[in-house]
Structure 1
Amino acid sequence: MTDPKTIVPTTTANQTIPRYPSEKSARWLLVVVLLVQAMVALDTSVVNVALPHIRSALDFSPSGLTWVVNAYSLTFGGLIMLGGRIGDMVGRRRALLAGLVVFGVESLAGGLAQSSGELIAFRAMQGVGAAVLAPIAFTLITVYVPAGPERARALGLWGAAAAVGGAVGVLAGGVLTQWAGWRIVLFLNVPIIGFLLAAARRGVPADRREGPAPRPDVVGALLATAGTSMLVLGVIRTDIHPWGSATTLLTLGVAMVLLTAFAVVENRVSAPLLRMRLLTHRSVVVANLFVLLLFSGQFAAFYFVSLYLQQVLDYSAATTGAAFLPFCAGMLLGSTTASRLATRVEGRLLLTVGGALAAVGFGWFAAVLGVDGSFLTSILGPSIVTSTGIGLCVVPMGTAATVGIAPAEAGMAAGLITSSRQIGGSIGLAALATVAIAVTGRHDGGARAALAAGYATAVGVSGLLLGLAAVLAFVALPARSSGSATPDAGQRMPTACEPIRPVHAGVPDSWQPLPGSQG
């Protein structure tokens, strides 16, 4: 007879994945997943409100300041596919613990940085740690949580953790910067990492491998990171070198060569970061394009709205952070609604409605971000509309990007969608920063009016990107591709307070928590 305290494994490919024997273990797993996701998202935005203080303290140039955000996002996005595959190959718990250590050490180092170059370097290394953590957090859901209502709720919480983490990052960054200076926003990660290291040992079981681990695709990771870095560099420098200049064309050309070389390498190595056959799944391709467009707009909007509040409306760092509370509320509303509707409404419709709603919200922002704006007239309404729309997209885009994927490639698919998120955010911020600078430079009004016009234009373009994403989802996403399905008779969605049901020993194979087993 099986000891109820024993974790009973099920084998997938070369790796043995244990099942959970108790609800308590499942809860600890979910705590780790959600906190990791919130933390890596928080660190994308937590420095936004602190940027004016960082610029003054470390003597950044206006264009160089965006690299405090982009250095993190680029290594995060460029190395995510490698991070996902490392989890598949060497064990998710081992990779998770290593990623936490790297992230914590570099956060501490970044808080101690004494120059702009040091801070950018440490932020880049933070991105390396995040590149391991984010895909593993996503993969733990797709591996351990059975498909259906429970996975829908878990994905809803996962997406909400990412989006709310980003919004809370702005709030925390503002309050902490005003209270104790900008360095505290990086030191904040250290106690969080300490808790996660203890929780991961308790809630994430060790994987057991059968046979030798395949060699990681380091060359592919370097080519992907170098290619995306050159792409963003070419875009972000268009404020100095126009789009048609030799410098910009050469930089973008090198980026295309590197990314093409990445594709060639992936077709030849035995354990690629990205198996090209994944890109034959229509749902996977459309979902990743949707994510790319969505976060191109969201990252940029966070950046420009926070600067608008401080540089145009003269809000303090703490007040700026508090102004993002409606965004947190809207994200919770949207993601909770999406998780409850996921088994009854097609993912394509949720993505279309959510993307369109977010586009309307960004358009509203663009119309009211004026020099005479206020929280009530320029921030409150657009924040709620935009964030609710983005929240509605969380569950269906995560599920659509992994539907039909083999268990052994769960980390690869997770890496791809998270990479699309980060790279889209980096390129969107870089491109729209050049738009804002160009509009500000041509404006013939006062300094504040010029800044407001530049920020409003950039956010308006973000709205166009979200509108394009909504159209793409409606036109190109296959019906039922998100895994949405009408529940069986008597089946209902669990509430936010109910635990995810663990998988026990002796459960039929149809309930094994494997990605792609849409049931």
Structure 2
Amino acid sequence: MTANTPTDRGRWIALSVLCLGELMILLDATIVNVALDTIRRDLGFERSALAWVVNGYLIAFGGLLLLAGRLGDLLGKRRVYLVGLTVFTLASVGCAVAQTQLMLVGARFLQGVGGALTSAVILGMIVTMFPEPAKQAKAIGTYGFITAAGGSLGLVLGGALTDGLDWNWIFLINLPIGVLTLLLSLRFVPDQAGIGVGRGPDWLGALLLTSGLMLAVYTILEVGERGWTAAQTLATGAGAIVLVTGFLLRQAMISNPLVPLGLFRSRAVATANLIQLLMVAAMFGVFFFGALHLQQALRFGPLEVGLSFLPAALTMGVTALRLSGPCLMRFGPRTTIIAGLCSILLCLLLFARTPADGSYPVDVLPALVLFGLGGGLVFPAMMGLAMSGATEADAGLTSGMLSTTYQVGGAIGLAALSSIAAARTGDDPSPAAITSGFSLSHLVAAGLVLGAVVVAAAFVRAPEPAAEPPVEADHA
């Protein structure tokens, strides 16, 4: 074994370290939501400006994912990952000590930069470390478990830290975690050399891509305030389209493209991203509208809302960790993806019939369990499907593309579904009217998932199932 070829045990240790880094990023993406009101009072934010504490992070994160993934291929995934961890950790300290609104929003933007550099390359490193199908399925399932649990754990931890200590601690807690992850990564995560930048990186292409995606994310985030047909929405949306189109044209014309467009012709990559785009556009509404229903109809507090979603996170995590790998090896990606999507579809239909005076055990909990079961099956299967169409030279780009689809698709879906719910509810503040708006949005979301089922059935190849799942030692 060379230094760059870890033992089997070393690979599972490296996977655990990578998952720890991803968990830190995921926790931060949701943990801040619980503390927003406390931050507003302490730093004197206007309610309209407070959104930038979240949006500053999301714009940098969503706008840089694709570029970060490609930089991992060119410069080395481990190198980009370590730089991202360092930037994220230092920016977290900046958030914790921020004394002004500008300092906090600026530090949040830098957190988004670090988060994108870190998250974009993790899946690419995982599939490179685990080329064997059975072990790769198990490794991706483990990664899926972390991504499933991170969001809900962030809500619970954020409520506990904000209530028990102070909002600064939701950022300061990243310092010891980040330092530990950096040290462990240097020790256990194998180096993966990049393919090099050839005659130099395409800086103009990088500028077009990053600015276009950032402007697109900004446009989507502002839809809730301005509406889809507002002049600013149309102008910034058109600007984003022009920038991304310019990037694609440049990549097609130059000899050393930043992003080889041939990857987009891969059937597996294109299908996985399309399924994810439709699915996450529907799924983001489950947490958003579910949390609002629990608060407005059932009068749950912030910590209670976080705890209420734990069954979904636990079900998704256990399914991703224990069931997704064997199902993929036994039935193949098409059957696994369709089964998971049907579970999410049933979840949305159950939410659509939830009455205004419903109860959590009867009307909410069963739907959340179905949501977790479906997500736990679909996400690892889609990750594996997309990465099956990538080579080691473009694994980082494919990983970044999946992350970009997740962020942008979820933002578009949530903005659209929120508009639909608001149009149905109108100015009526009664629980019945609010629930009616939520129900319509869930039905529209169910239509999106049904579209994802059709795509999976039509375009995902169905390989011959394995007679028996391989038996292997448990190294996780």
Task: Tell me the TM-score normalised to structure 1 length.
Answer: 0.83
User: Could you say if the C-alpha distance between residues 250 and 184 of structure 1 is closer, same or farther in structure 2, counting changes exceeding 3 Å?
Assistant: same
Q: CA deviation at 1:209?
A: 6.6
**Corresponding residue of 1:475:** 458
- C-alpha deviation, 1:63, in angstroms: 5.9
The yes-or-no answer on 1:352 pairing with 2:338 is yes
Partner of 1:492: 470
Residues 267 and 389, structure 2, Cα contact 8 Å, conserved in 1: no
Query: How far apart, CA to CA, are the structure 1 residues paired with 2:424 and 2:71?
Result: 44
State the Cα distance separating 1:98 from its structure 2 match. 1.1
Q: Deviations over 1:450-469 (max 9, x none)?
A: 55555554444433332322
Cα offset for 1:270?
4.8
Alpha-carbon contact 1:173-1:317 (below 8 Å) kept = no
Q: Which residue of 2 aligns with 1:381?
A: 366
Shift of 1:317: 2.5
Equivalent position of 1:85 in the other structure: 70
Secondary structure, counterpart of 1:313 in structure 2: coil
Q: Deviations over 1:227-275 (max 9, x none)?
A: 2333344344445544344433322222211111121122244553421
- 2:120 matches 1:145: no
CA shift, 1:387, in A, is 1.2
Provide the rounded CA distance (Å) in 1 between the counterparts of 2:293 and 2:199.
49
Give 1:306's match in structure 2, choosing from 291, 294, 305: 291
Conserved? CA contact 1:95–1:132, under 8 Å: yes
For residues 267-289 of structure 1, the C-alpha deviation after alignment (integer angstroms, 9 at most, x for no partner) is: 24455342111111122111011
Report the CA distance between 1:332 and its aligned residue: 2.1
Q: Does 1:266 align with 2:259?
A: no
460-469 or 394-403: bigger deviation: 460-469
TM-score, normalization by structure 2: 0.90
**Residue 184 of structure 1: CA displacement?**
2.5
Instruction: Tell me what 1:47 maps to.
Output: 32
Q: Measure, in 2, the Cα distance between the counterparts of 1:434 and 1:387.
A: 25
The CA RMSD over aligned residues, in Å, is 2.8
Change (3 A) 1:279 1:212: closer
SS in 2 for 1:473: helix
Preserved CA contact (<8 Å) 2:352 2:442:
yes
Within a 5 Å distance, the mapping from 1:12-31 to structure 2 comes to 18-20=4-6, 22-31=7-16
Structure 2 residue 146 is the aligned partner of structure 1 residue 161? yes
Partners of 2:74 and 2:195 within 8 A in 1: no
Tell me if the contact between 1:81 and 1:273 (Cα under 8 Å) persists in the aligned partners.
no
Q: Cα distance 1:114–1:301, how it changes in 2: closer, same or farther (>3 A)?
A: farther
Match of 1:206 in 2: 191
SS at match of 1:234: helix
Displacement of 1:192 after TM fit? 1.4
Q: 1:264 to 1:453 in 2, by over 3 A?
A: same
Matched, 1:444 2:419: no
Greater Cα offset, 168-177 or 193-202: 168-177
Which letter does structure 2 place at the counterpart of 1:476? F
User: How far apart, in 2, do the equivalents of 1:369 and 1:181 lie?
Assistant: 37
Q: Assess if the C-alpha contact under 8 Å between 2:93 and 2:175 holds in 1.
A: yes
TM-fit CA distance, 1:124:
2.4
| Distance of 2:365 and 2:469 partners within structure 1 | 37
Structure 1: gaps of 5 or more residues? 8-17, 501-519
Pairwise mapping of residues 223-262 of structure 1 onto structure 2 (< 5 A)?
223-239=208-224, 241-262=226-247
1:156 shift after superposition: 0.9
SS, match of residue 206 in structure 2 = helix
Q: Provide structure 2 residue ranges, at least 5 long, that are not aligned to the other structure.
A: none
Distance 2:345 2:213 in 1: 26
* Aligned residue runs from structure 1 range 54-69, under 5 A: 54-58=39-43, 65-69=50-54
Are 1:129 and 2:114 counterparts? yes
Question: Aligned in 2, Cα 1:244/1:475: closer, same or farther, shift over 3 Å?
Answer: same
- TM-fit CA distance, 1:65: 4.9
The 3 A distance-change label for structure 1 pair 425 and 188 is: farther
Contact 1:90–1:213 (CA under 8 A) maintained in structure 2: no
Cα deviation digits, residues 465-509 of structure 1 (max 9, x gap): 3232222212232334xxxx544x7761547xx027xxxxxxxxx
- What is the 5 A alignment of 1:385-396? 385-396=370-381
Between the aligned partners of 1:333 and 1:296, the Cα distance in structure 2 is 23
Instruction: Give the structure 2 partner of residue 188 of structure 1.
Output: 173
User: Could you tell me whether the CA contact under 8 Å between 1:178 and 1:316 is conserved in 2?
Assistant: no
Check whether the contact 1:174–1:319 (CA below 8 A) recurs between aligned residues. no
Q: Distance in 2 between matches of 1:65 and 1:458?
A: 26
Task: Give the aligned residue type for 1:354.
Answer: G
* Corresponding position: 1:337 with 2:326: no
Measured in 1, the distance between the counterparts of 2:436 and 2:40 equals 22
Report which of the two has the higher share of helix: 2
1:420 paired with 2:405, answer yes
Residue 321 to residue 494, structure 1, CA distance change in 2 (3 Å): farther
Aligned length: 475
Structure 1 position 382, deviation (Å) = 1.3
Please say if residues 75 and 197 of structure 2, whose CA atoms lie closer than 8 Å, have aligned partners that are also in contact. no
Aligned 8 A contact 1:287 1:397 in 2? yes
**Does the alignment pair 1:408 with 2:408?**
no
Shift of 1:324: 1.6
**C-alpha displacement of 1:87:** 2.0
CA shift for structure 1 position 147: 2.5
